Amino acid sequence: MSDIIKLLPDAVANQIAAGEVIQRPASAVKELLENAIDAGSDTISLVIKDAGKALIQVNDNGFGMSETDARLSFERHATSKIKCAADLFNINTKGFRGEALASIAAIAQVELKTKVEGNDLGTQIIIEGSKVKEQEVCNCSKGTSFSIKNLFFNVPARRNFLKSNSVETRHIIDEFQRVALVHSDIAFSMYNNGNEVFNLKKGSFRQRIVGIFGDKYNQKLVPVTETMDIVSIEGFVGKPEFAKKTRGEQYFFVNNRFIKNHYLNHAVQNAFDQLLSQDQFPSYYLKLTIDPSKIDINIHPTKTEIKFEDERAIYAIIRTAVKQGLGKYNISPTLDFEQESSFNVPLLKSTDTIKNPTIKVNSAYNPFETKTVAPMPKKQSVENWESLYDSFKKDTSEIIEHKKTKVEQQIISPDWDNEEEKQHTLLQLHSKYILAQLKSGSLIIDQQRAHERILFEEYIKNLALGKGNSQQLLFPETIDFTIADAELLNELKSEIKNLGFDFDKMGKSSFVVSGVPSELKEQNVKKVLEDLLEQFKLNESELKLKKHENLAISIARSASIKSGKKLSEDEMKSLIDQLFACEMPYSLPNGKPIIITLNLEDLNQQFDY
């Protein structure tokens, strides 16, 4: 057999490498911004069009490139940042692998203009799919400007794989924020489709955080500082009362590079200890400075994961520093720094006696008493319980098909108690579940999930029809969002309006809300909208839901009555009635059960009848 192994042409090799380095427009943004910083710039601007799919442009005022360097910069493994393997242990620049520009040039149309200090003229190069189309002298100012057009133009599979503009724009904003946050000594601006999104002046770290996330953040920040031999820490954590339901603003920077690290994240989470509930995440913005020889940045092409020589010690230092920060600002006056908090749970001694839990019973309480109470919103007629019986029968087959879970085996014959016992017992358990009695058993209904299902189906309908019931607010409310959230809200504008909200953008990141879905008129509008966006982001990253479904789920979640709310009998009836009018009353869109059935037979058996 003849020899068959060939070296891949450079263009192909670069395209393959690009798969690792440039996954989406945001990756190109990151590489270009980092190059601009490495070039010693103090003013950098980013311009994107069409979520970076049509154009990404980064302009800097750094030291620029000579004509030869400009041409060389697009070669693979061409870098000015390291010279030999030993340099890998003393990296003080963002880049050093020399593959970003080669990768980008392999999959896009790139235009470079660059000029070094003191030269009259600069160099312009146009390169497309790794082929140089044009190289000539040009008139430009000192520094460098890269324009990346039609990213992935020659890799259609990649281009098709990109998400919607709103998602890709948000990835770009994320990268921009990560880079801009830690370099507060550089002025950054960003323009999206011609609109200014950020205009950040040089300043302190605190000023930069506030510049990015909004003025209100100033009062949310608690300083954290610590200087030790192996690491020094400088930055802020968010006060516990501003903790979020999603892992939004969590930033670790090591030697000015944004990194992700679950272990160190845990150190911060742990330092907050009892200050946060289980579903809350602290915000933090922590800059770590470590001797470059004690870390390995080279374990991942995008360099967002790094290895530490002594991760455990760094964990302990971060945890203590954050605790001290919180303690100093009297956020947690009872913190005891000496004690390991995981040992705080009191253990029972063998001599301890265990007390029986006691229950308070209200002997005057009559579950059958009918009181007049405010009805649930959008109450539907509950003529009689037989209607429940019908829908229960109808839907039994659906749930079996929909979700083959334990519920399937528990389906009981849906016979409501007969005429003589017309009194339908409904009982609320633990302010969380509703117990309803059938002839052959009982149903236990999760009140919050039931309401979520009802609202979800209503909102899905409203989104499809394009009109939700809107109620005008007596006093329109002005609400400030972070710039990233404001962008998201703007992207989702027409859908959110279809849900029944009425709002307009005012300035860069404020909105005036003048109408809300009618069933939400009693609620705190700001909180509902913020929850809606938080939930939307969470669903998007974790469940990868479609936009409509995600929005409907998110708003249903934030607007639903919650566990812990006491319900009157009328409210319970109305809730159950609306639930059984739903197309799929038995489970949430994520498959979690809403109803559990208790079979009388099984109960009898358990009691050994």
Residues of the shown chain interacting with Mg ion in the complex, contacts defined by CB under 5 A: 35, 95, 100
Q: CA-to-CA distance for 82 and 104, rounded, in angstroms? A: 20
What are the CB-based long-range contacts (under 8 Å, 24+) for 527-532?
Answer: 527/558, 528/555, 528/558, 528/559, 529/479, 529/489, 529/501, 530/481, 530/485, 531/245, 531/557, 531/558, 532/496, 532/558
Radius of gyration (C-alpha) of the chain in whole angstroms: 30
- To Mg ion, the closest distance from the beta carbon of 231 in angstroms equals 26
Q: Which CB sits closer to ligand ADP, 301 or 377? A: 301
- To Mg ion, the closest distance from the beta carbon of 82 in angstroms equals 12
Give the phi and the psi of residue 107 in degrees, each rounded to 5.
-125, 15
Q: What is the DSSP letter of 218?
A: G
Please select the residue that binds ligand ADP; options are 18, 28, 31, 319, rule is CB under 6 A.
Answer: 31
Q: Which CB sits closer to ligand ADP, 61 or 470? A: 61
Please select the residue that binds ligand ADP; options are 17, 51, 55, 100, rule is CB under 6 A.
Answer: 100
Instruction: Retrieve residue 534's tokens.
Output: 């938080």
Cβ 431 vs Cβ 409: under 8 Å: no
Q: Does 188 engage in binding with ligand ADP (CB under 6 A)? A: no
Q: Does 55 engage in binding with ligand ADP (CB under 6 A)? A: no
- To Mg ion, the closest distance from the beta carbon of 100 in angstroms equals 4
Q: Does 95 engage in binding with ligand ADP (CB under 6 A)? A: yes
Q: Which CB sits closer to ligand ADP, 82 or 596? A: 82
Cβ 582 vs Cβ 394: under 8 Å: no
- To Mg ion, the closest distance from the beta carbon of 35 in angstroms equals 4
The option from Mg ion, ligand ADP, none interacting with 287 (CB < 5 to 8 A, set by class) reads none
Give just the sign of the alpha carbon dihedral 524, 527, 533, 538.
negative
Q: Over 224-290, what HEC string results?
A: EEEECCCCEEEEEEECHHHCECCCCCEEEEECCEEECCHHHHHHHHHHHHHHCCCCCECCEEEEEEC
- To ligand ADP, the closest distance from the beta carbon of 32 in angstroms equals 7
Q: Which CB sits closer to ligand ADP, 187 or 286? A: 187
Q: H or E stretch including 438?
A: strand 433-438
Q: Does 62 engage in binding with ligand ADP (CB under 6 A)? A: yes
SS3 label, residue 338 = coil
Nearest to 563 by CA among 470, 452, 419, 439: 452
The option from Mg ion, ligand ADP, none interacting with 98 (CB < 5 to 8 A, set by class) reads ligand ADP
The option from Mg ion, ligand ADP, none interacting with 495 (CB < 5 to 8 A, set by class) reads none
- To ligand ADP, the closest distance from the beta carbon of 78 in angstroms equals 6
Instruction: Retrieve residue 116's tokens.
Output: 């070094």
Q: What's at 103, amino acid-wise? A: S
Backbone dihedral region of 255: left (phi > 0), alpha (psi from -120 to 50 degrees) or beta? left
Instruction: Retrieve residue 150's tokens.
Output: 């039609």
The option from Mg ion, ligand ADP, none interacting with 73 (CB < 5 to 8 A, set by class) reads ligand ADP
Q: Does 209 engage in binding with ligand ADP (CB under 6 A)? A: no
Q: Which CB sits closer to ligand ADP, 123 or 597? A: 123
Q: What is the DSSP letter of 564?
A: T
The option from ligand ADP, Mg ion, none interacting with 79 (CB < 5 to 8 A, set by class) reads ligand ADP
The option from Mg ion, ligand ADP, none interacting with 540 (CB < 5 to 8 A, set by class) reads none
Q: CA-to-CA distance for 53 and 166, rounded, in angstroms? A: 12
Give the range of 97-105, 167-175, 178-186, 468-476 binding ligand ADP by CB under 6 A: 97-105
Please select the residue that binds ligand ADP; options are 14, 27, 45, 79, rule is CB under 6 A.
Answer: 79
Residues 545-604 within binding reach of ligand ADP (CB under 6 A): none
SS3 label, residue 144 = strand
Give the phi and the psi of residue 459 in degrees, each rounded to 5.
-70, -35
The option from ligand ADP, Mg ion, none interacting with 36 (CB < 5 to 8 A, set by class) reads ligand ADP
Cβ 41 vs Cβ 185: under 8 Å: no
Give the range of 91-99, 167-175, 326-334, 503-511 binding ligand ADP by CB under 6 A: 91-99
Residue with the CB atom nearest Mg ion in the bound state: 95
The option from Mg ion, ligand ADP, none interacting with 65 (CB < 5 to 8 A, set by class) reads ligand ADP
Q: Does 144 engage in binding with ligand ADP (CB under 6 A)? A: yes
Q: CA-to-CA distance for 32 and 483, rounded, in angstroms? A: 22
Cβ 471 vs Cβ 186: under 8 Å: no
Q: H or E stretch including 38?
A: helix 25-38
Give the phi and the psi of residue 146 in degrees, each rounded to 5.
-110, 130
**Number of C-alpha atoms within 13 angstroms, CB side, residue 92?**
4
- To ligand ADP, the closest distance from the beta carbon of 98 in angstroms equals 4
- To ligand ADP, the closest distance from the beta carbon of 483 in angstroms equals 25
Q: Which CB sits closer to ligand ADP, 100 or 212? A: 100
Strands 221-227, 195-200: pairing kind = unpaired
Q: Does 61 engage in binding with ligand ADP (CB under 6 A)? A: no
Give the range of 29-37, 188-196, 252-260, 337-345 binding ligand ADP by CB under 6 A: 29-37
Please select the residue that binds ligand ADP; options are 17, 26, 29, 36, rule is CB under 6 A.
Answer: 36
- To ligand ADP, the closest distance from the beta carbon of 555 in angstroms equals 43
Residues interacting with ligand ADP, by CB under 6 A? Answer: 31, 35-36, 39, 60, 62, 64-65, 73, 78-81, 95-102, 144
